[in-house]
Structures are given as C-alpha cells and as structure tokens.
Structure 1
Amino acid sequence: MERIKNNEVPQGLMAALRGVQDYIDQCGLNHNLLELMNIRISQINGCAYCLDMHSKKAMHSGETVQRLISVSAWREAPYYTPEERAVLEFAELLTRMEEGSDIDHAHHELLKYYTKSEIANFTVAVAQMNSWNRIVKSTGIVAGSYTLTR
C-alpha cells in the first residue's frame, strides 16, 4: 500500500498546522529550550526526520553537541537547568501518556519557573511536535533531507 505523500496532505490542514507552529514560534517561549524539547519528543516517537531538523536548528542557535547527544539521558546529565528539566519531564509525560504518570507533580515543577500561560503554550508545543512526528512518519519524509533556510 502506498503512503500519502507529504504534498498530498490537504493544504488547509497544513495551513492550520503551520498557523499553530507560527503561534508557538512567536509566543515568547525560549527557542533553544523548545528545540531540546522537540528533540526529546522526536526521540521518544522515533522520528528521524524531526530529529535531524531540530538538531540542525539547535546547533545553528548555538546549542552544544554535548547537550544534544545527552538529551535522551537528561535526568543523569548535570548540564540541564532545573527549568529545562521541568519542561523535558512534562514533554515526556504528555508524549507517552502512560497510565499512572504524575502530571500533577510535573505541573507543580513547571509552576516554579513558568506562568500558567507559558505552561499552556508548552502544552500546545508538545502536542504540535507530536502531531508533526506522526505526520512525518506517516508520509515517510526521508531523514537527512532538512536544510536550514535562514
């Protein structure tokens, strides 16, 4: 069976997704932190294209290789801030949606560093990255083909 190609996804749907992405990109959340979060979500979901894209974006923005290669083991690595750890934990919980996960504790940790509005924005950013991962995996976009366009 043939997959739906990326250019066959309805344009209205893609426009809506790009609109949400534009909101996330402009809502004031730290872009480097969003890239780390996107990398972690893409690791969990096994989306090689998104890992390639967000790693390239993060490196272009000055993120270190050490932090990029360790984001899957952020709990054991000493070079993530408490604010980053709170976001990574939250992103993992929302991505995995495991029964019995302690979302209340994650919210409590986030509230130490972020406003409720910022937490709502992180929630949408996590949902959006999960959507992109699923669309990319469904359409079979080839990993390694992303190039920065700045």
Structure 2
Amino acid sequence: MNTRINHQQVSPEVYNTMLKLEGFIASSGLDHTLYELIKIRASQINGCAFCLDMHITKLRSMGESSQRVDLVSVWREVPFYTAKEKAALELTEAVTLISKAGVPDDVYRNAREHFSENEFMTIIMAINTINSWNRIAISTGMFPAAQV
C-alpha cells in the first residue's frame, strides 16, 4: 500500500488548521476518554483504519480495559459504558451519519440530559473534527503502520 499524498507536507496549513481544532477540544475540558471513544466510533463508521488504529492504541495506553476498547461498535449491547458515554456515542453516530436522519430530537434530548449547551457544542466540534480527520486520512490513502 502507498499513501497517495502526504498531506502534512503538501499543505501544512490544512494540517495546522486541524491541529488548532484538536487544541480547542483538548483545552475545552472534554473528558479525554470520552473524546477517544467518540474518535473510535466515528472512525469505525467511516471505515478509517488509520484513525481507528491510532485511537484504539491511544485509549489502551490510557489504561482503558480491553472490553471497553474492543466493544465500542456494539456499545448498545453491553453494560461497559456510562449513560453519559452512551449519549455521546449515540450523538456521534447521528452526526457522522447526518444525511440519513439528521440528529433526531430524542438523540438531542438524551445528549442534553448529560451535557450543558457548551459541552454539547464541544462534542459536536469533537465529532466534526474526527470526521474531518477520517476524510483526510481516507482520501489521501493513509493506513496503519505495520507492526511486526
């Protein structure tokens, strides 16, 4: 496999703009574990192997259990996530797949039960950011590094 474009070299401005979004989210107070769960779920939906590998590795390095890392794709069927995490994962799915049904009122209401308006907007930006990273990685042909 070959990367199509090294986006960091070709357009440092794009890369730096994405890093500014990451910086905003990092300084927002959003729980780091929650952000990694959001990144994993969006990357699963989008089929971004590069981002999925990166964020699974990151969440594991943060000390997260294998069950919680491995079962994000079936979060509804297991008891390993808090109600707050489930609300964020549900919102992640709706925003990532926004062309299918928008963000239904029940998804919005559930998220708002757990997050303030400001937190809700930060989560929307977090979801948008990982979706942008996914689209950059997939479009430019990024793939996980081989580990022997």
Tell me if TM exceeds 0.5: yes
Secondary structure of residue in 2 paired with 1:143: coil
* CA gap 1:43/1:99 in 2 versus in 1, 3 angstroms: closer
> Is the counterpart of residue 117 in structure 1 residue 118 in structure 2?
yes
User: Where in structure 1 are there 5+ consecutive unaligned residues?
Assistant: none
Find the counterpart in structure 2 of residue 46 from structure 1.
Answer: 47
The normalised TM-score by structure 2 is: 0.91
98-107 vs 88-97, which moves further: 98-107
User: Where in structure 2 are there 5+ consecutive unaligned residues?
Assistant: none
Secondary structure of residue in 2 paired with 1:80: coil
* CA gap 1:9/1:91 in 2 versus in 1, 3 angstroms: farther
Separation in 1, partners of 2:128, 2:29: 17
**1:91-102 matches, cutoff 5 A:** 91-102=92-103
Deviation beyond 4 Å, 4+ runs, structure 1:
none
Amino acid in structure 1 at the alignment position of 2:45 = I
Find the counterpart in structure 1 of residue 91 from structure 2.
Answer: 90
Find the counterpart in structure 1 of residue 73 from structure 2.
Answer: 72
User: Retained in 2: the 8 A contact 1:55–1:68?
Assistant: yes
**1:1-150 matches, cutoff 5 A:** 3-144=4-145
User: Retained in 2: the 8 A contact 1:47–1:133?
Assistant: yes
Question: By how many angstroms is 1:140 displaced?
Answer: 1.4
Alignment coverage as a number of residue pairs: 145
CA RMSD of aligned residues (A): 1.7
Percent of pairs identical after alignment?
38
Q: Which is helix-richer, 1 or 2?
A: 2
Amino acid in structure 2 at the alignment position of 1:93 = A
